[in-house]
Chain A
Amino acid sequence: MSTDTGTRRAGRLGRWFSGPRRAIIVSSIGTSLEWYDYFLYGTAAVFVFGPLFFPESDPATGLLLSLATFGVGFASRPVGAVLFGHFGDRIGRRDVLAATFLVMGTSTFLIGLLPGYASIGVVAPVLLVLLRVVQGLSLGGQWGGAVLMAMEHGPRERRGVTSSWVQVGVPVGNILSTGLLALAAVLLPNEAFLEWGWRIPFLLSGGLALMGLWIRRGLTESPEFEAMGRPSRSPLLEVLRTHPRALGSAFLARIGSDVVFYVFTFYLLAYLDTQLGMDRGVGLAVVVIASAVQLPLLVLYGRLSDRWGRRRVYAFGAIGSGVWVFVFFPLLDTGVFWIITAAVVGGIVFEAAMYGPQAAFIAELFAPRVRYSGTGLGYQVAGVPSGALAPIVAIALFDWFGTAQAVAWYVAASVLVSLVGLALSPGPWRGTRAPAEEASARGPLTGAAP
């Protein structure tokens, strides 16, 4: 009897965890782990990599060099988008997505096994940079695949919410990486942490590689890919030739969202540290709280974008961020923890309105035969001038003008760029346009849908 009950329960679970839901969950978990790996490097670059891989230089230079290797990851992401996008459009989303997980898990795992400069000399930082490049390649290829697997498996009228689950990977990865590294730092003596404790979160990424294998076995190929017929011979060239406006729109729309995110989180740490003289732990705690708030908001905005249209929700987030940033810095200047938290959470509320529907917004711009390449390219190329440079530009502006208002104007300008991107959007690709979307595609920022 109990066996029957167990079997029935397993059967129910199996049915529940199948089809689109399975694709969404697996894509979401995989993306979370992928971002975990990516952010883990950034956190370790601040605390560990300087003395371990760049000990010959003075501490400040060592920190800068280790952060420079962090930036290398941004530069390689568009290359990954092109590389994996090519295969994703030609041989299928599933296997390429699995490959990106394997590559990311393996490269992060190898960073955990990497001896330091004292052991192998200059080869150590060289290998570190190389593995960082591989991480960037993988992330560049992974995001598009995960979005497409979630989106193309799901119903057409719920693409916003299905793809927003993939976006959840960013805050989850951020919380996981910061939390695990902090846990290791708290539990271990400082010497043990610097010698081997920091490696444990990296070695755990081997699990991501195994997940890649699981995905290959457990997921079916995207229905839209299977239905699309003969694949493009050169998806990159085709997307550049046939979807220039979509690419431009995706690129511009991404700018504001990335700048807002990195100013509200990464630059925040520098601002609290250098301008307010606050402990670094305060900033990290605030970022973790904001990430936790961001989690449900992303899905909520994804769902709203299915009802009200992507561009409308996206524009709400852009305008809100552009306004909020002028409140943001005065709130930070109070130096009170809860007010700072409220400032960051407020910013994240608007940022999530851009980031939640962003995946569906970008992916829908492209035809299925070039969607992997177009989505990845549009998303990742924008990350270089926005995400990678935002904290640097913000620091430079503050130094130049001596006031945070300069940074606020920079953020406002970036969200204006995003609004231009939204306005230029050609709307969802016509070949797969749903009736509800058809109306919305008539004009930018008008109508009931994006």
Chain B
Amino acid sequence: MAAICPDGHPTEDTEYCEECGLRVPTPSGARPPGGPGDGRVRGSTTGSAGGERSAGGSVGPGPRLGPTPAAPGPGHGPGGGTAGGPVRAAEVAALIGDAPTSAHVAAPRAGAGHAGAAPAPAGSRADRSGAEHVPPPGGAPAANAVPPDDDPADLLEPPAPTLLLTPGRRPRLRGPSTVGRLRLLAAVTVAALVLAFGALAVGTRAAQTAIDDTGQDIGPRIIATADLPRALAETDAHLAALVLLGDDPDHADERAAELEAYQDSGGAAADLVLGAHDLAVDVEGRPEPTAAATDPAAAAIEGEAAAQDPADAPTPTATPEDAHGATAQAIDLAQAYARYRELAGRALALSESATYPAGEVPSDVAAARAEAARHLREEVLPLAEAVSLDATRTAFHRTKDAHDTVATARVAVAFGSAAALAALIALQVFLARRFHRTFSPALLVATAVTAIYTYTGVTVMATQTDVLTRMTADGLVPVATQAALRTEDTVEAADSTDARTGASVGAGSLDPYQDDPAEAEEAAAVFTASVAAGDAAIGGLGFLIPVSMLSIAVVVVVGTAPRLAEYR
């Protein structure tokens, strides 16, 4: 606290009181030479009209008030000079224990008289109003104005700055001034808003990142990769059929259809293997380095895929040297798949070169086909499952992190918004009491916007936590679980097909590989719906949050600034 005004208000402003607007007396030690007196300076500076209400020291023992009693100004201020040297008079009066000498008891502005003016006649207003109109000390001294037990030296000691003494009242502690409170409440409001909207922004961003990352990119690829076992199973089934049919001219049409189906499913499987590769790279956050030239397996896949549709042929991007973890696993998968196609191609070639009726597969052809099937179930499928599960696990962890961030943000939004609302209401009440205003429209708007965004923040954060939970728990995890089950089925089916190689043409059908995809599709649908809901809930908030924050801040300023100006 910097000073106390003539009316006793503690004020930070050293020139004018923040509460009542009166000029604050210059502290004695800091008074410039020739400056206008002490705490009674108003009396001495208000000019020649002073003295008309100077009123007597006869009002009795004014309590010691104010911080700068009888400050001995070294020179005469302009008012002091014209008033006949009140500073010196005050000094003397203070030293002899005669002066109440408080800035607090100085006459009010309207009646501010000369500090050094003559005592007011008996019956003046000051007489009637008691100590509040105790004259400036430069006036006629009243010898009995100070209790005899008061040490005159005490009068020079400023009281504790927060202690306000009002004549006739018990001392009481004062809080911050009106202006200070207004500023404090506005600052608290803005700080709470910054907390609430900051948390909302952080939570929204975390959710948006998780949705973009897992929902728009990794998740769909996980779902797609989950189809890999099925695509592989189809490929293998068509291979088995081709081997069983052989080059039998009676089944030429069937063979042509199976060959086309084999190429289609093989191309689809190749696409999915490349998708798994891309997925692994994305999950690991690896840069996408070089091309297929350094990766024979990927190059083989690429060529195969390009044969299906050159325009859509994917390009593998990681090199074995750069790869690690999931990426390496994906490359292993690609290489294993390439090896499978190689073995399958060999079995087909043998089948085409040998002449046998449908169903009577020669042993070397059967052995080549069996080797391909064994490679499929022992190498390719486990790797495919591992890639899918790893990606799912990573996505799950990332989503969980985002979920935790959003949940924390939700709490912060709730607390910050509640604090902001409380501060706004307090501000409103304060203005209503202190400035006699029913309400401030600007603050009412700020309160309404804050309330809307409190609800919005809490609701959106709740939606996001729910979305993130559903995305993984009800979406990706069941999808991955189904993929694992399907892999098991595929292995079993491959074994079964392998065992029946020599039996009949029918063994090449897809029947052994059929599973019920409904659950996986349902889970995938839940995942997609969750992502859409999360995206829609956030949509527009990227624009609305800063605009609302700015609007509320502007409105709070608009609502309080006129009051501050009015007060000054």
Contact = CB atoms under 8 A, between A and B. Distances in A.
Contacts of B538: 119
Interface stretch (A109-117, A140-148, A350-358, A431-439): A109-117
26 contacts: A55-B536, A102-B441, A109-B551, A110-B445, A110-B452, A113-B544, A113-B547, A114-B452, A115-B460, A115-B544, A116-B539, A118-B536, A119-B456, A119-B463, A119-B537, A119-B541, A123-B455, A127-B452, A195-B539, A195-B540, A195-B543, A196-B542, A196-B543, A199-B543, A199-B547, A203-B547
Contacts of A123: 455, 459
B540 A115 contact: yes
Contacts of A110: 445, 448-449, 452
B452 to A, nearest CB: 7
Contacts of B551: 109, 113, 206
A119 B459 contact: yes
B143 interface: no
Interface magnitude class on chain B? 20 to 34
A246 to B, nearest CB: 34
Contacts of A196: 540, 542-544
B261 interface: no
B392 to A, nearest CB: 27
B61 to A, nearest CB: 50
B533 interface: yes
Contacts of B541: 115, 119
A121 interface: yes
Contacts of A195: 539-540, 543
A120 B540 CA distance: 12
**Secondary structure dominating the interface of A:** helix
Nearest to A117: B536
B547 A119 contact: no
B539 A113 contact: no
Q: What interface size band does chain A fall in?
A: 20 to 34
Given A118-B536, A196-B543, A113 B441 contact: no
A373 interface: no
A341 interface: no
Interface of B: 441, 445, 448-449, 452, 455-456, 459-460, 463, 533, 536-544, 547-548, 551
B445 A119 contact: no
A120 B448 contact: no
A425 interface: no
Contacts of A305: none
Given A113-B452, A127-B452, A195-B540, A120 B547 contact: no
Contacts of B539: 116, 118-119, 195
A115 B538 CA distance: 9
B214 to A, nearest CB: 19
Contacts of A55: 536
A110 B542 CA distance: 17
A106 interface: yes
Contacts of B542: 196
A119, A121, A123 interface centre (most CB from chain B within 10 Å): A119
Contacts of A199: 543-544, 547
Nearest to A127: B452
A106 B445 contact: yes
Contacts of A102: 441
Nearest to A113: B548
Interface in A182-200: 195-196, 199
A115 to B, nearest CB: 5
